[in-house]
């Protein structure tokens, strides 16, 4: 994957024009009188944002046969011709569009639609998972968003099958759920630390594929993201945490143990992608040394996913004229 930041000035001018157009279209969508026109303008605004990219991230970063995790340049910005300033502007505009589509998703869910979204974030420690949640979802309504971070299984959870705790946190119809780590930890960790027999953790590949297949068949869109960071970038972020007392709570000695087995983790995740990236629930491998870039990619993936649902506002389930007359004659 190449580094699109090398494109320079001309690409930056095109990026700036595309962002200005997207922001203009977003304002138009907010002021249109017709509901249908507002939906059309919202789609145009979202497509204008997508035009910023040289290539769609959904195609460029989707895991495919022959892709090697260790060959991805963590500091690259494939597909995005701008720099950090343009990336942050993109995220800001896109967050507003995500809010618009989220309202549609939630409204339809309240009227019986089974559509919902599960965003899975994985990556090595300090790869930026928390920052993505903070920035990509900065403008959404908390009603309809569910976030859950998975740590080591509790004593109660260990009494059940490994998907027990995952099922409890799945999105309801009309909702978006964000998982910071997920069921994939129950393959990677036993593999690296030998806590379960190989036959057991290997059987979980098929179990997860079947589980995700049932979810997608039932209307749940699954976006699986792995943030590809370098060992050097992780070291810098760890040192910043150690230097800042307000971030000491984020650091644990086990982070260093995992860092010492970096190559083992890369091998484990490589096999995860090869065994569980499916047409209905693919993995996206996103360079994450430049956090603004990984946030922009996730924002683009999420927004276009909802855009492509082609949702409409649910029709009223009552006589609106009668309701109006009742209010006017109080």
pLDDT tens by residue, 94-143: 999 999 999 999 999 999 999 999 999 999 999 999 999 999 988 888 88
pLDDT per residue as tens digits for the range 185-226: 999 999 999 999 999 999 999 999 999 999 999 999 999 999
Q: Distance between the two ends of the chain, CA-based, in angstroms?
A: 66
Q: Please, which pLDDT band fits residue 4 given cuts at 50, 70 and 90?
A: very low
Instruction: Report how far residue 38's alpha carbon sits from residue 259's, in angstroms, rounded to the nearest whole number.
Output: 49
Q: Top-level CATH class of 4-311?
A: alpha beta
> For residue 111, what pLDDT is reported?
95
Number of helices followed by number of strands (H, E) in the chain: 13, 5
pLDDT per position as a tens digit, 142-162: 889 999 999 999 999 999 999
Q: Residue 221 pairs with which residues in a beta bridge?
A: 117
pTM value is 0.92
**Sorting pLDDT into bands at 50, 70 and 90, what band is 33?**
low
pLDDT digits (tens, 9 = 90+) for 56-86: 999 999 999 999 999 999 999 999 999 999 9
Query: Beta strand pairing status for 283-287 and 220-228?
Result: parallel
Query: 9 pLDDT band (50/70/90 cuts)?
Result: very low
Which of these ranges, 19-23, 195-199, 210-214, 267-271, has the smallest mean pLDDT?
A: 19-23
């Amino acid at each position: 994957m190449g580094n699109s930041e090398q494109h320079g000035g001309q690409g930056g001018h095109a990026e700036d024009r595309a962002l200005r157009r997207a922001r203009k279209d977003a304002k138009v969508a907010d002021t249109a009188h017709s509901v249908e026109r507002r939906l059309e303008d919202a789609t145009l605004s979202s497509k204008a944002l997508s035009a910023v990219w040289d290539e769609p991230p959904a195609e460029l970063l989707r895991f495919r046969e022959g892709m090697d995790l260790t060959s991805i340049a963590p500091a690259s910005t494939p597909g995005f011709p701008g720099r950090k300033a343009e990336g942050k502007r993109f995220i800001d505009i896109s967050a507003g569009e995500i809010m618009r589509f989220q309202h549609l998703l939630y409204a339809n869910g309240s009227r019986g639609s089974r559509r919902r979204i599960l965003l899975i974030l994985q990556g090595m420690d300090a790869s930026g998972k928390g920052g993505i949640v903070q920035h990509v979802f900065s403008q959404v309504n908390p009603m309809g968003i569910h976030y859950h971070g998975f740590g080591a299984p509790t004593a109660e959870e260990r009494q059940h099958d490994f998907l027990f705790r995952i099922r409890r946190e799945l999105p309801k119809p009309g909702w978006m759920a964000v998982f910071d780590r997920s069921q994939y930890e129950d393959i990677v960790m036993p593999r690296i630390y030998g806590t379960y027999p190989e036959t057991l953790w290997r059987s979980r590949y098929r179990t997860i594929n079947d589980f995700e297949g049932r979810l997608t068949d039932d209307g749940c869109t699954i976006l699986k993201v792995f943030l590809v960071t370098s060992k050097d970038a992780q070291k810098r972020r760890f040192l910043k945490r150690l230097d800042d007392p307000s971030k000491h709570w984020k650091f644990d000695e086990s982070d260093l143990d995992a860092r010492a087995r970096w190559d083992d983790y890369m091998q484990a995740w490589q096999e995860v992608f090869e065994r569980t990236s499916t047409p209905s629930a693919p993995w996206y491998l996103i360079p994450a040394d430049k956090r603004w870039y990984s946030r922009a990619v996730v924002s683009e993936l999420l927004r276009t996913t909802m855009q492509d649902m082609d949702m409409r506002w649910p029709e009223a389930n009552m006589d609106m004229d009668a309701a109006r007359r009742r209010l006017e004659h109080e």
